[in-house]
Structure 1
């Protein structure tokens, strides 16, 4: 358990990006990328299928809980969101999105540009609720979470390889890293000062990638892991640049790649018996509507790292946050 000193306490958190954070925004979009039906959410608040792509909480939920902000991060598009929830932060993330706008187009979800527009709308609401001065203080002192590259590699460069036909991996990584930098600069212009950025995970070992690209033995796909490493290096380089060019900014990087690789390679010491297959369905390819109320699910999801073929169980997410948080607190303060 990480204890947060009182004077270091965080008062608000906002999340941008993809399904590692999305807490239900896609429920309100015309897209097939949804998780607002069983068995998703089977352990969340008594079995509510909230739109989170896991059995319980997401990474952003665990971060706000560990920081003592609130129990979970609500989706901004949820029509039932309460006004009193807004000053402590909300989630703008949209499952299926990426740093590449094409990735969002393929899946008809909200690109980062639209998530930024929602944040502007949120600021107007916040001004009305707490007043302009208090709103500026909240925006400046809160923490911004971003995770947004996995779909670019798994979808636009992988399963629907439109970008693989146009770019080699290095050039595509460079495009994504530049897009990421421009997004962070836009957030900064809107008042963001404390940023936590997640890199691409060990995506070549996720069940769907192994099943589609790993051959008859479903091996981890080295190509995608190498591409992720290439991108992560470029992303870190852009973050270094931003640290020097954006005054009074604090920018923290979460090494999601090595955290997820460590859990996969040493899974038994984390209590996982299966890291090759997902808990839902056959464990090979089901995600979103393919993981549904008719899908068999594993008897004990705490023994599985993966809930569906592209997303972790809440136990996996909790371990990621537990490992990342001490370093994040050091960075933020």
Structure 2
């Protein structure tokens, strides 16, 4: 009897803490998902690379200049990431923490985290040479997180949170821009079609692994038009300032393969919602028509010349533009938080449509 009483008291306490911590959004009684779990690269990494022995970090100024208190957290932009803004849109905290942040503990575990690592990709050959976290390690870190969650709040609560959460993966740009197209060994081993198929095998394994951990909602974010990134134009379009269309065609064809993969594997995952989110079209429209969205500059990043600077090349000694809100890009590779806000709103609407559609779930 005493043991039953203790177990009951623990369960009641866990539920009480959960109701205390879950934030409320005006006009919304409860979050639309229990938690947000994100995997991928620098577009969604809020600082997991900070403790790693890598140069691919951004935990120094001028990164974070528009973050609360002007604090550089390891986010590769001037303020909040897409994932922070998505978390808020879903009715969760307005900052999605890094899973490796020492402050990520206690009640913060309840509403999710980013397990992403800047410069990571689908392929191990993209991540390992730079001493960042491959996708396999990101999933392993999720498993460790799940153990911590269960220890603190009980297995039933942990399983419920995971099963009602949205899992999102957003990666792949570094596989092409910083691996295939600059590494002669990779290009010597694979044609571009073979390399794309290799990445799809990694994506399939990711879906298999997180579904085994209890994921029931999995969003796969497609590639952006990475031929329009300032650094890629600088490096590859020697004759002008226009997007490097070869890269955009690779991104488009890979996105088509992701969508085909999702349709093919759906029967293997009954009860699991797996859906595609398009990043390409909205970002391309912003880049092609910046003034429509309130931007002035889409060719250069705000930091330095904006043509090549990123990571350690964008540092406290680098001059940055006075008003990042007028720029599509913060550095030569990553958008500003103002651009991320527009994309986050678009991805949020796509996610809502998928989650609420009776035809998308098996």
Q: TM-score, normalised by structure 1?
A: 0.96
Question: How far apart are the structure 1 equivalents of 2:122 and 2:135?
Answer: 7
Q: Hey, what does 2:161 align to over in structure 1?
A: 138
Larger Rg: 2
Change (3 A) 1:168 1:239: same
Q: Hey, what does 1:325 align to over in structure 2?
A: 348
User: Does 2:218 match 1:195?
Assistant: yes
Change (3 A) 1:173 1:3: farther
Change (3 A) 1:78 1:52: same
After superposition, give the CA deviation of every residue in 1:30-50 in whole Å (9 maximum; x if it has no partner). 001000000000111111100
Structure 1 segment 160-309 matched on structure 2, within 5 A: 160-309=183-332
User: Does 2:27 match 1:14?
Assistant: no
TM-superposed CA distance for 1:130, in Å, is 0.9
Structure 1 segment 92-171 matched on structure 2, within 5 A: 92-171=115-194
TM-superposed CA distance for 1:257, in Å, is 1.1
Q: Hey, what does 1:36 align to over in structure 2?
A: 59
TM-superposed CA distance for 1:8, in Å, is 6.9
TM-superposed CA distance for 1:244, in Å, is 2.2
Question: How far apart are the structure 1 equivalents of 2:321 and 2:236?
Answer: 24
Q: What SS does the aligned partner of 1:14 have?
A: strand
Change (3 A) 1:181 1:286: same
TM-superposed CA distance for 1:4, in Å, is 8.1
1:286 touches 1:308 (CA, 8 Å); kept in 2? Answer: yes
Q: Hey, what does 2:338 align to over in structure 1?
A: 315
Q: What SS does the aligned partner of 1:37 have?
A: coil
Question: How far apart are the structure 2 equivalents of 1:161 and 1:140?
Answer: 42
Question: How far apart are the structure 1 equivalents of 2:175 and 2:68?
Answer: 31
Question: How far apart are the structure 2 equivalents of 1:297 and 1:162?
Answer: 36
Question: How far apart are the structure 1 equivalents of 2:250 and 2:27?
Answer: 35
**Gap runs ≥5 in structure 1:** none
TM-superposed CA distance for 1:231, in Å, is 0.8
1:18 touches 1:97 (CA, 8 Å); kept in 2? Answer: yes
TM-superposed CA distance for 1:22, in Å, is 0.2
Task: Indicate the RMSD between aligned Cα atoms, in angstroms.
Answer: 1.5
Q: TM-score, normalised by structure 2?
A: 0.89
Question: How far apart are the structure 1 equivalents of 2:184 and 2:112?
Answer: 35
User: Does 2:106 match 1:83?
Assistant: yes
